[in-house]
Amino acid sequence: MRMLRGGGALWIALNSLGCGNTLPPWPETLVIVDTDLSVPRVVRRLRIDLYDADGRWFESRDIARPDPRDWPASFSVWSERETETSRVWVRLRLYPEGRQRDYLGERFWDWSAPVDDGAPTWEPRLVHDGVDITPMTEPQPLVTVDRLLLVPMSPDDRGRVQVVLRGACAGTMVKLSDAPGDAGLTPVAGQASSCVAVEKQREGVVEADVELGNLERPTGSLQGTLVIDCGEAQDPTRACIAGGGTILGSAELGLIPDEVPLPERIVIHRPFWIDRQEISVARFRAALSSGWVPSEMPTSNPAGLGMAADGSTCSWSDVDLGREDFALSCLSWQTARELCQWSGGDLPSEAQWEHMATLAAPRGRSRYPWGDDPPTCERASFGRLPLGNQGGVCQQDGIGPEAIEEGSLNDVTLEGVMGLGGGLAEWQLDAYESYRSGCWAASPVHDSICWQEQPALRSLRGGSWPAPPTILASAVRAGADPAGSASFIGARCAYPAEVEP
Amino acid sequence: VFVISREGFGDAVVRRSVKPGERGKLDLVLERLPGTLAIKADQGRAAVRVDGVDVGLAPVTLSRPGGRYHVVVNKDGYEPYEGDVTLRAAQRFEMMAKLAPERPGIHERWYFWSSLAGAIASVAVTTWYVTRPTPERPPLDGGGLGWAIRVP
């Protein structure tokens, strides 16, 4: 029942005279939280922090919502103030499982600043009845959709507020206040801002619109709507990689300290096509026959395949020497890109490559292109070269590269992309820079890429025939001189899908 | 002429001729004289009963032998008037019955029933008030998470 403002007091008076047996509902606002990111593959935890109208932090909760059916998630805030509208700051943070950092105090980080952990302030603190119950951790900002709301609770009626935590806002932290130092650690009206829909952009937080009289909880969710198919297949040699969000980087690769791909970040892709196989010698030769002229030819190996990671294992030869079904190696980044562009595509970005190489786990990201099973010699083409005094893990099966079909039949993703784990490392479009670099800080959330015109190194992704098994993990990165060529480096091409975003 | 008198009785008079030296017996009968009972009332058409016998409407005058009589005077709307009268022979006794308007019983008073109704109502209301369920508010919603977080 809708009541006039302040009608609660009248209601209570009438009840005290025996004129009724119910009281009006407390002023309550239902907060309905949805997301367009995929659950649980990309995000699955929701952190809720509440600040009163004066900015005092009084509540913090964190819950796993890994089931897509759990979305939209909803909870309510309510007040005992029956004669006036009260307000509460609601900070919502949506993030992947396990992506937390120690809480050292509120640490605002902006895109333009270097990625670092910031100086600890240990403030603000969450105190209940004199007991400090401040959470020990907080979500990692770069993999978090961070949103601040100012939610009113009307004495007129109960109602609801709906909010969508959009993947585009991943990595854009809430800014609680413009005030420097400790004064900026709590929300301030007129100063607080957070990302709503456009990546890396914040909007001032204004009082949320409440649908009074409506406490209905929607059953449909936007989660996963970023996953867009490519449309009708036109070339059987290409596989569709549906768009969507993914986590770029991995904290699980501590065994390779020089290449730890951190910090992780959430990126969003449009759908794209990808070559099912690495570029083969036959394809390169066919392109040449079609009249395409590269600016630089791959290193030619006029002899039979050797047993060392040098020119003797380059697969290209000026004339057909029977290695046409081998992946093309010993080509420069520029040559690889020219062929892809001539084919109507381009080299994939690191983000695209990692996205397609981590799709094999239905409820998260897979460690390897085929899933989470550790690499074996039957699975992929790797370990086929003695390294130092160590024998190659799979050298008993042969030394040197092998034909695509032989080496990648089991090294295949759910989408039918072969040879991502082993075979050849593949040139990427990106400059090879640390994820902490300014290049990556400036990269967009959508179709993320670290682009530089003439970097010292270009990125490589994927294991290769001489590589040890640790290199086959999908998040492992490497870099190489783009002008150089090596017998363990090849390429494959990505193509845009002609669909509406 | 022989005359015998006694209070309350009429004189007995006998005329008889007696010869000298004559002895004889003379029977004399004294007849008791009645009293007069006059009963009036200050209200008209009041019924008079004497020793339980309706004797008419006041005022009424009765001739009765001396003795004790119970007189009741009744009239609708008035309290009955009752009294005992000792009437002597030849005496005239006048009785004035002052009839007092009949006073209704307490249960016929308006305030009796009003008070009773009020008392019953009070008891009922008090009982209800004491035993009524505590007024409650509709439950908080709490959303799908079941979290209804109070804002201080």
DSSP-assigned letters across all residues of A21-63: SB-PPPPEEEEEEEESS-TTTT--EEEEEEEETT--EEEEEEE
Buried b (16+ CB within 10 A) or exposed e, A33-62: bbbbbbbbbbbbbbbbbbbbeebebbbbeb
A1-15, A297-311, A415-429, B129-143: which has the highest mean pLDDT?
A: A415-429
Chain B residues in contact with A26 by the CB 8 A cut-off are: 137, 140
Task: Confirm or reject contact between B130 and chain A (CB < 8 A).
Answer: no
Asked whether the predicted pLDDT for residue B8 surpasses 90, the reply is no
Asked whether the predicted pLDDT for residue A129 surpasses 50, the reply is yes
Question: Which residue of chain A comes nearest to B146, CA vs CA?
Answer: A75
> Mean pLDDT across the stretch A103-131?
83
pLDDT in tens, B16-28: 788 888 887 877 7
Please state, in angstroms and as integers, the Cα–Cα distance from residue A361 to each residue in A38, A272, A358, A367, B136, following that order.
13, 19, 7, 8, 50
Respond yes or no on whether the N-terminal peptide bond of residue A40 is cis (omega within 30° of 0).
Answer: yes
- The alpha carbon of residue A169 is apart from the nearest alpha carbon of chain B, in Å, by 24
The shortest CB-CB distance from A75 to any of B125, B138, B142 is to B142
Task: Confirm or reject contact between B143 and chain A (CB < 8 A).
Answer: yes
**Amino acid identity at B21:** G
pLDDT of amino acid B29: 78
Q: Read off the pLDDT band of A236 (50, 70, 90).
A: very high
Number of helical (H) and strand (E) elements in chain B, helices listed first: 1, 10
pLDDT of amino acid A6: 45
Chain B residues in contact with A50 by the CB 8 A cut-off are: 149, 151
Cα(A220)–Cα(B72) distance, rounded to whole angstroms?
Answer: 98
> Mean pLDDT across the stretch A471-489?
93
Chain A residues in contact with B141 by the CB 8 A cut-off are: 28, 30, 76, 158, 215
Asked whether the predicted pLDDT for residue A71 surpasses 70, the reply is yes
Q: Read off the pLDDT band of A501 (50, 70, 90).
A: very low
Contact A76 B136 (CB under 8 A): no
Q: Are A38 and A66 in contact (CB under 8 A)?
A: no
pLDDT of amino acid A254: 58
pLDDT in tens, B74-131: 999 899 999 998 888 888 888 899 998 887 777 777 888 899 999 999 999 999 888 8
pLDDT in tens, A164-183: 999 999 999 999 998 766 55
Please state, in angstroms and as integers, the Cα–Cα distance from residue A296 to each residue in A127, A293, A302, A315, following that order.
66, 8, 17, 16
Query: Nearest Cα to A90, choosing from A131, A140, A29?
Result: A29
Asked whether the predicted pLDDT for residue A100 surpasses 90, the reply is yes
Cα(A150)–Cα(A498) distance, rounded to whole angstroms?
Answer: 40
Cα(A459)–Cα(A403) distance, rounded to whole angstroms?
Answer: 24
Chain B residues in contact with A21 by the CB 8 A cut-off are: 132-133, 135-136
- The alpha carbon of residue B134 is apart from the nearest alpha carbon of chain A, in Å, by 7
Asked whether the predicted pLDDT for residue A391 surpasses 90, the reply is no
Please state, in angstroms and as integers, the Cα–Cα distance from residue A437 to each residue in A340, A423, A431, A432, A440, following that order.
27, 29, 11, 10, 6
Predicted complex ipTM: 0.86
The shortest CB-CB distance from B147 to any of A52, A58, A75 is to A75
Q: At what angle are helices A333-342 and A281-289 packed, to 10 degrees?
A: 60
Probe site for chain B from A16, A76, A154 (most B CB atoms < 10 A):
A76
Task: Confirm or reject contact between B148 and chain A (CB < 8 A).
Answer: yes
Q: Tally A–B CB contacts below 8 A.
A: 84
Cα(A65)–Cα(A43) distance, rounded to whole angstroms?
Answer: 9
> Mean pLDDT across the stretch A271-280?
97
Helix (H, G, I), strand (E, B) or coil at A416: coil
pTM over 0.80: no
Contact A28 B144 (CB under 8 A): no
Average pLDDT score, chain A: 90
Question: Which residue of chain A comes nearest to B144, CA vs CA?
Answer: A74
* Consecutive H or E run containing B3: strand B2-4
pLDDT of amino acid A476: 93
